[in-house]
Structure 1
Amino acid sequence: MAGVLVDPAGRVLLAQRPPGKHLAGAWEFPGGKLEPGEAAGDGLARELAEELGIAIGPGEPLTRVPWAYGAKRLLLDAWVVRCWDSEPRPLEHTALQWADPDAVDLALLAPADRAILQALRLPHRYPITPADLPPAAHDACAAMLRDALGRGERLLQLRLPLWPMEQVRALAGQLLPEARSRGARLLLNGDIEGALALGVGVQLKAAQLSGSERPLPWNQPVGASCHDAAELARALALGADFATVSPVAVTATHPEVPTLGWAAFAALAEAAALPVYALGGMSQADVQQARTSGGQGIAGIRGFWGG
């Protein structure tokens, strides 16, 4: 169990692993092992009492992260906790710190805890621009994306295959000040060089998942386009922050392509050690189904833009 304590200001509590422990010095979300037969909520309450000296109120499940440290395998079940009775103390850790989730350096976290932080700070919706927009629609596309930012979208992918690469980069640069002011993130589709130059994120295509190093710094989001467990494993090895899995349902553009369905999506999401968005035939009404199936939420095109 891992406890994600969130205070009224939206900060999260991180604990530093003590000397002599595995991953000493790394920061993590406090928690520990369930006892045999112990309910998740009870085990979380017991562990946080032992580690932080607090009694917590009810928690809310956030994500489950399967992980392996060498031969040691674990399933990290993370719950958000917003109510407790006293100031947490580092009874079993070297130190504690409260931090803005968006300001945390992922490189300082224990590897299994990175997915927990990403699940906390990633939204449940991931709109992708329509692929059939022509280059002449630059201004209309900019207005469409500004409207999306205005209505609260916080993760947007610029996928405009008909446009010259430089025009896509120019659009991203044009939108970047407003996106940053709203706490939103822009991702370019497949354009690692452009993402590096602009300081934005990238959505990697499946063919780009064969690399051996994360293509961007930890403060620039990396998404991965996946279709099966092997691609999800490659995305994790590459250090991706999240993945899309498709096609979950029938799409208007490719009705002949076989779909995964929710049961297969749920199996892939449960086995993945990073947040996963359902993609393909999604509408806003599918967010809860995706969440119930173990996903971070939904990604899509027509379901977000109405076209």
Structure 2
Amino acid sequence: MSEQGILNFICQMTMAASAYKRRGNLDKATTITLVQGFTGQLKGWWDNFCTPSDRETILGAMKNENEEDAVATLIYTIIQHFVGDPNIFKDRAASQLANLYCPTMSDYRWYKDVFMSKITLREDGFQGFWKERFIGGLPKLFSEKVKSKLETHFGNPIPYPSLTYGQIHSIVIETGIQVCNDFKLQNKLRKESTTNRKEMGNFCQQYGVESIKAPNTTKRKMSNKENQNINNIQCILGTPFLSLLYPFSITTKGLETKVLGNIICFEFINPPRSRELNLLKEHSTSIINNKKKHINSLNKEIQYKKIEEQLQHTNIQKLLKNFKKK
């Protein structure tokens, strides 16, 4: 059971104890009745953790000589065992409230429930800055709409200390419903605009009402200096240079191509010159042959080196010595 669950259960125990006492039950009898209703962790704590002397101390607690205090002692013992210092729990609730946010309005129900469960643990939960924090945790644009509506209903500046969380919650719901209706209206208008355009047809043009078109939808007529229409000419500004040239041929003068039926020649800056490829081939062949000879000589050196290393082996040296003696 969580700490919050323990505190909620203690609140239920307090209400039940008040009802039992009103019926004339003594404090000790009320405590025994509450203990009999324990389940789960609380039952395990009472049966296994509490010693017989602890139970007697709780059930026999007295505020003074004539007034029993068993219920309060039981509640205090449960808090000390499961929660610890309630003040630390309250401080932690303040930190959680300061870092609690509602990512989207789909999470608002969860956000409100968590916020209210934490704020009720604080003695200063009614202060205005906590109510302002509740609104500030909503999505930014939506929180601005809520603040604007609060100013409309309650004036500017917003009197947070006198507002209740219920009033703020109702304004949030009202704002959310208004935003949803606005979205529905926009979608409806978007759908109806197409239908209305089909229904009206060219009625407006027939009776002298000119249609309004955006500037970029009007086709502009383009012409050259001879006043010839050039809208259909494929060679227009923005065509890639190489795409414009293809197909082209290479001549002694330069690159030649046809554009709109006209032959265009892009002349070379320097005249073309021929190179002797045979000289280059002979030079490359000689280099390759020299490299082959070098590789062959290296292979032979490697073989000789391996033979020398093998001859240095101990067994071979012994055989050579024996052979010399013979």
Q: Normalization by structure 2: what TM-score?
A: 0.17
> Highest CA radius of gyration, 1 or 2?
2
The structure with the greater share of residues assigned to strand is 1
Which is helix-richer, 1 or 2?
Answer: 2
User: Larger relative contact order (C-alpha < 8 A, sep ≥ 6)?
Assistant: 1
Which TM-score applies when normalising by structure 1? 0.17
